[in-house]
Amino acid sequence: MELTITRPDDWHLHLRDGAAMAAILAATARRFARAIVMPNLKPPVTTVPQADAYRQRILAALPRGADFEPLMTLYLTDRTPASEIEAAARSGFVKAVKYYPAGATTNSENGVTDWRHVRAPLAAMERLRLPLLLHGEVTDPAVDVFDRERVFVERHLVPLRRDFPELRIVLEHVTTAEAVDFVRAAGPGVAATITAHHLLWNRNAIFQGGLRPHAYCLPVLKRERHRAALLAAATGDEPQFFLGTDSAPHARAAKESDCGCAGIYTAHAAIELYAEAFAAAGALERLEAFASHRGADFYRLPRNRGTITLQRQPWTVPATLPFGDQVLVPMRAGETVAFRLAPDHAATT
């Protein structure tokens, strides 16, 4: 069985930098034409010149002949001036601005501590139609870690929508039925990305026969009813739900630690894993809209012209993959993935 679809885009990706980036970039470029690249480097990408330099490093690290366009983002801080947003909108290569609540996740120390500090840049984004990408979790230690997304929607997203009704928003990597409901009800200016791991796994994966650090990400995996809600949204016909892998590589040692990093690496099999989730839901014919059409439409970019072909042919994921001078453990390490990318398309599109 084969499935040919318009070449997809990844609307939420971590590429890291340096030798680590060089080791993982080809996997994404084989599958996706474009990706929204997260700015949570150390130090974060907070200015347009920094985004330009990062973009040049990504282009230089691409394999020869690769056809891949990195779409850059800026990291919003308490000190981001409106003029930086204006410069971003003018640049042509910065496509969005990322909001991390300070302390919520990997490299978020420089994130926003209070919405009152970012009213001027948010107003500029609203005016210039530059999307705001949200890591939607509260950092309040009194809130249960499994409730942090739901509480973010109530405490932050509802007031944000009220204050900036025209601001284009992507609630990134949604993990709960409540987030899905909010996005569904919000109308065309609000969208959400969904990861492959949140479609395939519920929170039991973190505790399968023991503690599984490679199944730990943020927002953390949720219960089965939430996974079912995400799958229904992804395979449904609403245009505001689209693909964003949140592939987030960390060296094996950083995950297998007494305080392991959050992040699941999926770029090695990203579209194949989504195909599995859609096939399991009997909705493979919906994959193209989710993976290749809706994100481009939301970002007001042209849809891609090339295609990729997926074959239903199981293959075994390696136990580890190179990651700079270290290794990482990819999703499904040592296990099979049911779909593979047809090699000819991968090389030529």
Residues that are catalytic: 246
Q: Which is nearer to ligand DOR, 91 or 107 (CB)?
A: 107
Partner interacting with residue 176 (select from ligand DOR, Zn ion, none; CB below 5-8 Å by kind) = none
Taking the CB of residue 140, how many other CB atoms lie within 10 A of it?
Answer: 13
**Among 125, 218, 234, 331, which residue sits at the site for ligand DOR (rule: CB under 6 A)?**
218
Q: Which is nearer to ligand DOR, 15 or 180 (CB)?
A: 15
The helices-and-strands tally (H runs, E runs) of the chain is 14, 13
**Cα separation, 272 vs 311, whole angstroms:** 9
Find the binding residues for ligand DOR in span 12-51 (CB under 6 A).
14, 40
**Among 10, 84, 246, 288, which residue sits at the site for Zn ion (rule: CB under 5 A)?**
246
* Ramachandran angles phi, psi of 170, nearest 5°: -115, 115
Q: Is position 106 an interface residue for ligand DOR (rule: CB under 6 A)?
A: yes
Q: How far is the CB of 293 from ligand DOR (least distance, A)?
A: 25
Partner interacting with residue 218 (select from Zn ion, ligand DOR, none; CB below 5-8 Å by kind) = ligand DOR
Find the binding residues for ligand DOR in span 257-286 (CB under 6 A).
262-263
**Among 46, 77, 105, 245, which residue sits at the site for ligand DOR (rule: CB under 6 A)?**
105
Q: How far is the CB of 193 from Zn ion (least distance, A)?
A: 9
Q: Is position 245 an interface residue for ligand DOR (rule: CB under 6 A)?
A: no
Q: What 3-state DSSP class applies to 334?
A: coil
Q: Which is nearer to ligand DOR, 51 or 89 (CB)?
A: 51
Q: Which is nearer to ligand DOR, 108 or 235 (CB)?
A: 108
Q: Which is nearer to Zn ion, 254 or 283 (CB)?
A: 254
Place of tokens 């997203």: 157
Q: How far is the CB of 135 from ligand DOR (least distance, A)?
A: 5
**Cα separation, 81 vs 337, whole angstroms:** 45
Q: What 3-state DSSP class applies to 296?
A: helix
Taking the CB of residue 175, how many other CB atoms lie within 10 A of it?
Answer: 28
CB 23 within 8 A of CB 324: yes
Q: How far is the CB of 230 from ligand DOR (least distance, A)?
A: 16
Compose the 130-149 pattern: x for residues touching ligand DOR by CB under 6 A, - for all others. -----x--------------
Q: Is position 221 an interface residue for ligand DOR (rule: CB under 6 A)?
A: no
Find the binding residues for ligand DOR in span 149-168 (CB under 6 A).
none
Partner interacting with residue 9 (select from ligand DOR, Zn ion, none; CB below 5-8 Å by kind) = none
* CB contact set of 180 (below 8 Å; sequence gap of 6+): 174, 192, 229, 230, 232, 233, 241
Q: How far is the CB of 229 from Zn ion (least distance, A)?
A: 20
Q: How far is the CB of 298 from Zn ion (least distance, A)?
A: 17
Q: What is the DSSP letter of 140?
A: -
Strand pairing class (94-99; 69-75):
parallel
**Cα separation, 140 vs 143, whole angstroms:** 6
Window contacting Zn ion (CB under 5 A); options: 22-30, 245-253, 281-289, 329-337: 245-253
Please report, as ranges, the residues that interact with Zn ion according to CB under 5 A: 246
Contacts with ligand DOR by CB under 6 A lie at 14, 40, 105-106, 135, 217-218, 248, 262-263
